Every structure is written in structure tokens, then in C-alpha cells.
């Protein structure tokens, strides 16, 4: 925390950090890929090839934001240091933001860059299961067919007694076709997928080209968490975050964002310092285009429930969190 505070006291320091993350080896034009720039303003690059002007925030989730970067950095820090994440209401209170929507929008934009890359697949021995999360399903209803909730597939690498990386994804249903699509997108062919006895997995694993190992829960008479301890632990942790941080009030169109945020932190749980997780989040933020953020906006316009949970446009410019040293203000009060 002390290091975070000392590294980023001003908005200009934050901007320089993003510049360094985006162009570690010097400016490369995002438009024409020319190398080299000249500049008349600090933090602005003018391309020598096409003449266009860029800053580190151009075309990223920070594009044309009215929220000062110190506030963005504070939000990223709070999102990554806590195991449970932070709700928009809590972020608003902590940073003194005047608007809930600004807090909500920042968190939501960060979530868009937290989804795991499709190029990185789980390998080795993987436990997989599906569960029902979010929505307003009846409490205590479990199994395949809980009303009002969403089918979420979970997978986690397992080697010996330790667990590796995980993936969580909403599925349209628990049919073998949906399960197969999930396995194809998230799991390396040839891996061993361990599941319960649900018949959908037979076809899904065969179709996706992975080996299948069945632990039949109902035949063995064991509680479900014994043969598949990793994936059940994963679901119980994510359920705790949804019920705790978000108090169970999860809109369907937001659930995948929450799952991505959870997985982003979970997969970096062994990181030596929280600062490293913060670094990864900001690195992803300047690496991704604004299109992912526009997708969020589109989803919300379609559902028509946006006004209560947060419109994406920023009409309000929050105050900076710049650490301008004032000599002992309590004395002059």
C-alpha cells in the first residue's frame, strides 16, 4: 500500500505508468505501426508516419475518460488487493466518488479486460463440473435444473494435491453440445477431464478430443466434494463472493464479468505480491481496445435494465485523488 501510494501520487504519474506499459520499447503507432514520434506535449505522441496524435489511453478502456487516472488506479488497486473484490457502492464510498455510476462503470470496464485469453488452455488433469449461479433461484435448489439461475461450467487443473488455473463460463444449458464447446475453448486436446457421472460428458469429452475419467458420485455414495474437491471448492468460493461482495444481486448480463474478475484473481492467488496482480490488470487494460467496453454498453442497452445498475456514459467528472501535500491541514482548521 505504501509503495502504491508513493509510486502514483499524481494523475501525471499514472499516465506515465500507462505509457511505459503500453510502449515499453518506445512508441509504435497503433494506426500505421510506424516507429518513432515527436511530441509537443507531455504524454502525447505524434506519429512520424501518419501524423496522428496518441496518448497511452487512446483506444483503451480509459479512452476519453473524465475520471482522473488516480481514481482509476485506486479502483484497480482495490479490485486486486482484496480476495473478494469490491462492489461499486463500496468503491464509491472509499474513493469519495459523487456518482455510483462512475464507480460501477470503472469496475465494469476493468472486468472486460479480465477474461482469460482464448490462447491459454488448461492442460494436464482437469476437474470439471457445472453449477447454478446468480439469478433469483430458490435457495437450496441444486442439481441440473434449478429454476431462475444460470448454468456455469467450471474447470480447474489438478496435479497431485495442489490445484492450478481455473476457468468459469456461463453456458446456455448443460447439454453435451454446450459442454463440448466449453471444453474445446478452454481445455487442451489430450488432457484428462475428470467429471461426475452426468451422461452429457460422455459425448462432450469424446467430441472435444480429451480423455475422460468418471467419478460416479451417486454410485459411490460419497458426498460430491470428495471425488471432485477442486471444482467444488472453486464453486463454493465464487458463490461466497457473489453472495458477500455483491449481496447476491447479480444481473444476468453482469454475471460473466464477475466470474472473469473472480478467475483473474483466483489464478494469480500465488503471486508474490499484490502489486504484481495490479500490474497485470493495468497491462491488460492498455493492451485491449475499447471495443470490449463497447460490447458491455451494447449488452446493457438491449436488456433495458441499465438505469438502476449503471449507464455507461460518463456525464460526471469525479475529483482527482492526487496526493498534493498540504502542510498539516488540521492545524489551520
- Cβ at position 59, least distance to Zn ion in Å: 12
Between the alpha carbon of residue 296 and those of residues 61, 85, 144, 313, 327, the distances in Å are: 11, 19, 29, 11, 43
Q: How many residues bind Zn ion (CB under 5 A)?
A: 7
- 156: phi then psi, degrees, rounded to nearest 5: -145, 135
- Nearer Cβ to Zn ion (46/215): 46
Residues 210-249 that bind Zn ion (CB under 5 A): none
Crossing angle of helices 274-287 and 69-81, rounded to 10°: 130
Helices (H), the chain: 2-7, 11-22, 69-81, 88-95, 100-112, 176-186, 200-208, 217-220, 229-244, 252-266, 274-287, 291-303, 306-309, 329-332
Could you say which of 14, 15, 18, 29 contacts Zn ion (CB under 5 A)?
29
Binding range to Zn ion, per CB under 5 A, among 27-35, 125-133, 265-273, 306-314: 27-35
- Nearer Cβ to Zn ion (39/84): 39
C-alpha span between 315 and 94 (Å, rounded): 20
- Cβ at position 156, least distance to Zn ion in Å: 43
- Nearer Cβ to Zn ion (49/244): 49
- Nearer Cβ to Zn ion (47/168): 47
- Cβ at position 30, least distance to Zn ion in Å: 8
Going residue by residue from 33 to 72, which x/- string records binding to Zn ion, judged by CB under 5 A? -x------------x-xx----------------------
- Nearer Cβ to Zn ion (49/96): 49
- 317: phi then psi, degrees, rounded to nearest 5: -100, 105
Per the CB < 8 A criterion, the answer to whether 259 and 169 are in contact is yes
**Which residues of the chain form contacts with Zn ion (CB under 5 A)?**
29, 31-32, 34, 47, 49-50
Amino acid at each position: 500500500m505504501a509503495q502504491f501510494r508513493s509510486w502514483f501520487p499524481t494523475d501525471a504519474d499514472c499516465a506515465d505508468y500507462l505509457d511505459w506499459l503500453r510502449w515499453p520499447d518506445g512508441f509504435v503507432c497503433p494506426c500505421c505501426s510506424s516507429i518513432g514520434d515527436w511530441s509537443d506535449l507531455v504524454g502525447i505522441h505524434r506519429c512520424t508516419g501518419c501524423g496522428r496524435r496518441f496518448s497511452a489511453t487512446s483506444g483503451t478502456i480509459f479512452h476519453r475518460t473524465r475520471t482522473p487516472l488516480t481514481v482509476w488506479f485506486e479502483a484497480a488497486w482495490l479490485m486486486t488487493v482484496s480476495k473478494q473484490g469490491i462492489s461499486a457502492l463500496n468503491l464509491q464510498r472509499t474513493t469519495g466518488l459523487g456518482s455510483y455510476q462512475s464507480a460501477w462503470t470503472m469496475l465494469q470496464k476493468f472486468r472486460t479486460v479480465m477474461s482469460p485469453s482464448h490462447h491459454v488452455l488448461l492442460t494436464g488433469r482437469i476437474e470439471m463440473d457445472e453449477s447454478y449461479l446468480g439469478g433469483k433461484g430458490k435457495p437450496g435448489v441444486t442439481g441440473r435444473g434449478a429454476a431462475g439461475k444460470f448454468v456455469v461450467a467450471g474447470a480447474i487443473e489438478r496435479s497431485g494435491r495442489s490445484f492450478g488455473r481455473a476457468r468459469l463460463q456461463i453456458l446456455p444449458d448443460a447439454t453435451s453440445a454446450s459442454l463440448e464447446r466449453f471444453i474445446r475453448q478452454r481445455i487442451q486436446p489430450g488432457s484428462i477431464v475428470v467429471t461426475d457421472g452426468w451422461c452429457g460428458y460422455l459425448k462432450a469429452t469424446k467430441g472435444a478430443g480429451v480423455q475422460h475419467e468418471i467419478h460416479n458420485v451417486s454410485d459411490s455414495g460419497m458426498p460430491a466434494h470428495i471425488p471432485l474437491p477442486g471444482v467444488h471448492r472453486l464453486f463454493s468460493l465464487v458463490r461466497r463472493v457473489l453472495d458477500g461482495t455483491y449481496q447476491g444481486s447479480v444481473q444476468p448480463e453482469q454475471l460473466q464479468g464477475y466470474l472473469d474478475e473472480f478467475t483473474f484473481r483466483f489464478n494469480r492467488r500465488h503471486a508474490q505480491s499484490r502489486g504484481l496482480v495490479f500490474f497485470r490488470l493495468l497491462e491488460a487494460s492498455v493492451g485491449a481496445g475499447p471495443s470490449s467496453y463497447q460490447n458491455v454498453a451494447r449488452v446493457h442497452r438491449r436488456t433495458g435494465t441499465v438505469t438502476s445498475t449503471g449507464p455507461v456514459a460518463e456525464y460526471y467528472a469525479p475529483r482527482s485523488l492526487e496526493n498534493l501535500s498540504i502542510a498539516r491541514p488540521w492545524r489551520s482548521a
